[in-house]
Chains A and B, each alone.
Chain A
Amino acid sequence: MRARRLVPLAILAPIVLAGCQLPSFGAYKGATSQGQDAYKLWQGFFIAGIVVGGFVFLLIVWAVFRYRRRHDAVPRQTQYRPVIEILYTVIPIFIVAGLFVFTVITENEVDAVPKSQVTIDVTAFQWGWQFYYPATGKVVIGQTLEQPQMVLPVNRAVTIHLESADVVHGFYVPEFNFSRYAQPGVVNTFNFNVLHTGVYRGQCTQLCGLYHSLMLFSVRAVTPAQFDVWVHQTSGNRPTIGQLKQQIRANGPGA
């Protein structure tokens, strides 16, 4: 009985909510077009979670309060109700199918790597990051608290080639709603289309040894014109990854 009353609510809730602005449910809205796709999927999953989880929650709460022991009688020993059992097996399969369809659609958008104007080779190492721009030979490199900064243009497709010089690291920019492992011997390729200028913080997410906690970086998104100027400036004498690794092992992390 109660289940039937909840069904229209389950169907109406997303429509009504879509009319107003959907809440973010704690996630970032996404500073890239890929991140925004992931964000919309998150909202969908969250609403599905509230509806399905809420239904099960109410079912439990109702059972617990309604059927608390009042007398010593032995209740009717019901064990099987085939119609209900089939319903609670089949309906979730359809819900899962729906979630899967939206997952695949979003996944294809997030993981698409169309041809881009800008390429950046990112190399993670213990414990820092190197950003190399093959078009001009520009290099940015830094360890832990130096927080090396990757610069990229807004409103352009940017392709990142990501790998690691030693152990597995995680390249994570929270506001892009994206992370990917940097692995030795594997080059991961993905695209960003950053929508707004600004500075976005990034951090290593995969445990990579002693100073994992300090493996920070940032991403600065600038206008294409500013980017062209920046990327053609020579980077001067930069230490190599090997030198920085020796330095941090000898002297500890520092800015």
Chain B
Amino acid sequence: MTDLINPPLTDNGSHGTSVVEILQQHGHEEHGPTGILKWLTSTDHKVIGMSYMITSLVLFYMAGIMALVMRLQLASPQSSLVSFQQYNELFTMHGSLMLYLFAGPFAFGGLANYIVPLQVGAPDMAFPRLNALSYWLYLSGSITMMMGFLVAGGAASFGWVAYAPLSNATNSPGAGGDIWIMALVLTGFSAIFTGVNLVATIFYLRAPGLTMFRMPIFTWNMLVTGILILIAFPVLTAALVMLFCDRHFGTHIYSVQGGGSPILWQNLFWFFGHPEVYILALPYFGIVTEIFPVFSRKPVFGYKGMVFATLSIAALSTGVWAHHMFTTGVVLLPFFSLLSLLIAVPTGIKFFNWSGTMWRGEIQFSAAMLFSIGFLFAFLMGGVTGVMLASPPIDFFTHDTYFVVAHFHQVLFGTAVFAGFAGLYYWYPKFFGRMLRENLGKWHFWLMFIGFWVTFMPQYIVGLLGMPRRVAVYPTNLGWQSYNIISTVGAFVIAASFAVLLWNLWVSWRHPVVAGDNPWDAHTLEWFTTSPPPHHNYSHLPPIRSERPTWDYNHPEAPAVGHGEGRPPHGREKVMVTQ
């Protein structure tokens, strides 16, 4: 146990050497090549993390453009802007890019890569070369995925879930499907390697004094996400290999004709797919849990409860996959319904933690904080409709309709986009030592916030009226068009907000405003070093006696009060709340 908390820092296993000495030995070494060669050869977690973020943002914009084309198509019921085949390719690739290539890699490959070693006071990830391999696998997988559009027959068109037997060689011939499978195997291995790397980093490279219950929630959530990745992604990779065998080597694993079972694909896919939802969500929960305390000037409310809530979400998420399969008629409804409903409890705890953190704080509405508050409203709406969908009789008439489309967009847009860009605005000064423009950030937020509700609320209504998802045309006489037009307008408002972001990045780059090391008076270790951090991150570390060492260092007069770890850095007694 002692070894886990204070692991040996040197190769010879001695506990005597402090992290400071190690860093002093390595901190001033040759920094290696610069320019393009640096980006190609670096094993520095910060360079790799930045590569991940830039790549995933490019893919995010591409997937967003696909969404705009689909929204234009649906603005008119019998539109022929794109063909049926093109429409099927568009939503397949939009979903695949957003879920596999943006939402996960941006947070887990990008932000976690950059921030976690800093938050635990480590000079780099545990396996820097494996880390580089992860990125190059991810980049080649992403390029592979996009190449689907270039082959005869077009990109994959069987949806991002690729249900068998639609995804077999008879029903989806052509190289598009194979390219899709290969891309996912490549990026899947990238995720698995990053998962291994982060779990090892968090368990073994924490600075002296940084016990598990002094880790920032962001790091906690990345640890849990890493474990979930190790549970879920190998299942997806195995299922994809079997699908490839069905397509090319004459196996019949997912086909009735040869004695196989199509439903097996759904079980395997969702056994990956539901933990995947939390693999996408937990990192973003971690981001906002960094931001609320900093801009409320308070510690995270109920820190330990939040850690246990995250752990129970992760545990429950491995037992709810069949709630995507309620209408198959072949799953045990009460079991999966109960576990799905139960996830509302730890998720609710998080909401109370976030509100409690703001409670009696001094809230400053920076762009990062606005995006985090926007996340709360978006995720609350998506969460409430999620509880409805966990009830099979309700799922029966909303499954595969626009109600579900609205639900999961509110959840995923709420997390990956609202919380993701909260993280970008929050950590950008750390990455580059310069500020993003706050006023442009607020324009970005308000446009996106309004566009978000205008886009997705009408989809609930039209879904309840019976509009199925993944349709390129719909009957003209059912009154669905007005809702679709509103939704399309909203989508373009969201697009405008992302033009503002590009403008903000450009302005901030051309006319830099120096940020300083800790512009937000933030709490966690990464704000203790310079902005941007030096090659091996730290020349010295503050004493770590709570989950917010930088705050304790800067505010010795204001220790956390209440039960638990939040004890004063120099105090000799616990201060209890007596009110």
With CB as the reference atom, state the residue of chain B lying closest to A176.
B397
Interchain residue pairs with CB less than 8 A apart (29): A41-B393, A42-B388, A56-B352, A59-B355, A60-B358, A67-B362, A75-B362, A77-B558, A79-B299, A79-B303, A81-B562, A100-B337, A100-B338, A103-B393, A107-B333, A170-B327, A170-B399, A172-B397, A172-B400, A172-B466, A174-B466, A184-B165, A186-B328, A201-B475, A204-B468, A209-B88, A212-B88, A213-B470, A216-B475
B212 interface hit (Cβ, 8 Å)? no
A93 interface hit (Cβ, 8 Å)? yes
B275 → A minimal CB distance (Å): 21
User: In the complex, are the beta carbons of A52 and B562 less than 8 A apart?
Assistant: no
Most buried by A among B262, B334, B341, B394: B394
Question: Which one of A14-22, A82-90, A233-241 is at the B interface?
Answer: A82-90
- Taking CB atoms, residues of chain B closer than 8 Å to A77 are 298-299, 558-561, 566
B256 interface hit (Cβ, 8 Å)? yes
Among all A-B residue pairs, the 8 with the closest Cβ atoms: A174-B466, A80-B562, A185-B256, A205-B400, A213-B471, A188-B329, A63-B358, A177-B397
With CB as the reference atom, state the residue of chain A lying closest to B364.
A69
From A53, A69, A84, A185, give the contact of B261 (CB < 8 A): A185
User: In the complex, are the beta carbons of B262 and A168 less than 8 A apart?
Assistant: yes
Question: Which one of B131-139, B343-351, B417-425 is at the A interface?
Answer: B343-351
B391 interface hit (Cβ, 8 Å)? yes
With CB as the reference atom, state the residue of chain A lying closest to B83.
A210
With CB as the reference atom, state the residue of chain A lying closest to B303.
A79
With CB as the reference atom, state the residue of chain B lying closest to A34.
B393
User: In the complex, are the beta carbons of B341 and A64 less than 8 A apart?
Assistant: no
B359 interface hit (Cβ, 8 Å)? yes
B396 interface hit (Cβ, 8 Å)? yes
From A27, A28, A174, A213, give the contact of B473 (CB < 8 A): A213
User: In the complex, are the beta carbons of A103 and B337 less than 8 A apart?
Assistant: yes
User: In the complex, are the beta carbons of A80 and B327 less than 8 A apart?
Assistant: no
B463 → A minimal CB distance (Å): 9
User: In the complex, are the beta carbons of A186 and B329 less than 8 A apart?
Assistant: yes
A228 → B minimal CB distance (Å): 30
B263 interface hit (Cβ, 8 Å)? yes
Q: A96-B342, A174-B465, A207-B470 are in contact. Are A167 and B166 (CB under 8 A)?
A: yes
User: In the complex, are the beta carbons of B163 and A166 less than 8 A apart?
Assistant: no
- Taking CB atoms, residues of chain A closer than 8 Å to B299 are 77-79
A251 → B minimal CB distance (Å): 15
- Taking CB atoms, residues of chain A closer than 8 Å to B301 are 78-81
User: In the complex, are the beta carbons of B362 and A93 less than 8 A apart?
Assistant: no
CA distance A249 to B362 in the complex (A): 65
With CB as the reference atom, state the residue of chain A lying closest to B159.
A207
CA distance A115 to B7 in the complex (A): 68
A38 interface hit (Cβ, 8 Å)? yes
Q: A41-B391, A56-B380 are in contact. Are A79 and B300 (CB under 8 A)?
A: yes
Q: A26-B464, A88-B349, A96-B341 are in contact. Are A209 and B171 (CB under 8 A)?
A: yes
- Taking CB atoms, residues of chain B closer than 8 Å to A69 are 362-364
User: In the complex, are the beta carbons of A79 and B560 less than 8 A apart?
Assistant: yes
Contact with B along A194-222 (1 / 0, CB 8 A): 00000001011111111111101000000
How many residues of chain B are within 8 Å of chain A by beta carbon? 96
- B108-153: which residues lie under 8 A (CB-CB) from chain A? none
CA distance A67 to B362 in the complex (A): 6
B386 → A minimal CB distance (Å): 10
From B341, B345, B376, B471, give the contact of A60 (CB < 8 A): B376
With CB as the reference atom, state the residue of chain B lying closest to A45.
B388
B296 interface hit (Cβ, 8 Å)? yes
With CB as the reference atom, state the residue of chain A lying closest to B385.
A49
B387 interface hit (Cβ, 8 Å)? yes
- Taking CB atoms, residues of chain B closer than 8 Å to A254 are none
B307 → A minimal CB distance (Å): 12
- Taking CB atoms, residues of chain A closer than 8 Å to B256 are 184-185
From A79, A107, A172, give the contact of B334 (CB < 8 A): A107
A87 → B minimal CB distance (Å): 9
User: In the complex, are the beta carbons of B397 and A99 less than 8 A apart?
Assistant: no
B365 interface hit (Cβ, 8 Å)? yes
- Taking CB atoms, residues of chain B closer than 8 Å to A176 are 397
User: In the complex, are the beta carbons of A177 and B396 less than 8 A apart?
Assistant: yes
User: In the complex, are the beta carbons of B171 and A166 less than 8 A apart?
Assistant: yes
Q: A49-B384, A167-B165 are in contact. Are A75 and B297 (CB under 8 A)?
A: yes
Query: In terms of DSSP, what is the predominant structure of the interface of chain A?
Result: mixed
Contact with A along B371-414 (1 / 0, CB 8 A): 00100110011011101100111101101110000000000000
From B328, B341, B464, B472, give the contact of A99 (CB < 8 A): B341
Given contacts A81-B356, A172-B400, 17 further A-B contacts (CB under 8 A): A26-B464, A49-B388, A64-B363, A71-B362, A74-B297, A74-B557, A75-B361, A78-B301, A80-B301, A84-B352, A100-B337, A103-B391, A103-B393, A170-B400, A180-B327, A184-B262, A188-B330
With CB as the reference atom, state the residue of chain A lying closest to B460.
A26
A121 interface hit (Cβ, 8 Å)? no
Contact with A along B75-112 (1 / 0, CB 8 A): 00000000011011000000000000000000000000
User: In the complex, are the beta carbons of A79 and B329 less than 8 A apart?
Assistant: no
User: In the complex, are the beta carbons of A206 and B163 less than 8 A apart?
Assistant: yes
Most buried by B among A89, A110, A180: A89
Contact with A along B265-308 (1 / 0, CB 8 A): 00000000000000000000000000000001111111111000
Most buried by A among B84, B333, B391, B562: B391
CA distance A175 to B303 in the complex (A): 47
User: In the complex, are the beta carbons of A38 and B396 less than 8 A apart?
Assistant: yes
A73 interface hit (Cβ, 8 Å)? yes
With CB as the reference atom, state the residue of chain B lying closest to A147.
B475
CA distance A38 to B348 in the complex (A): 26
User: In the complex, are the beta carbons of A179 and B400 less than 8 A apart?
Assistant: yes
CA distance A50 to B261 in the complex (A): 41
- Taking CB atoms, residues of chain B closer than 8 Å to A99 are 341, 387, 391
A37 interface hit (Cβ, 8 Å)? yes
B570 interface hit (Cβ, 8 Å)? no
- Taking CB atoms, residues of chain B closer than 8 Å to A5 are none
A66 → B minimal CB distance (Å): 9
Q: A38-B396, A207-B159 are in contact. Are A60 and B373 (CB under 8 A)?
A: yes
B515 interface hit (Cβ, 8 Å)? no
Q: A201-B466, A205-B399, A208-B166 are in contact. Are A107 and B393 (CB under 8 A)?
A: yes
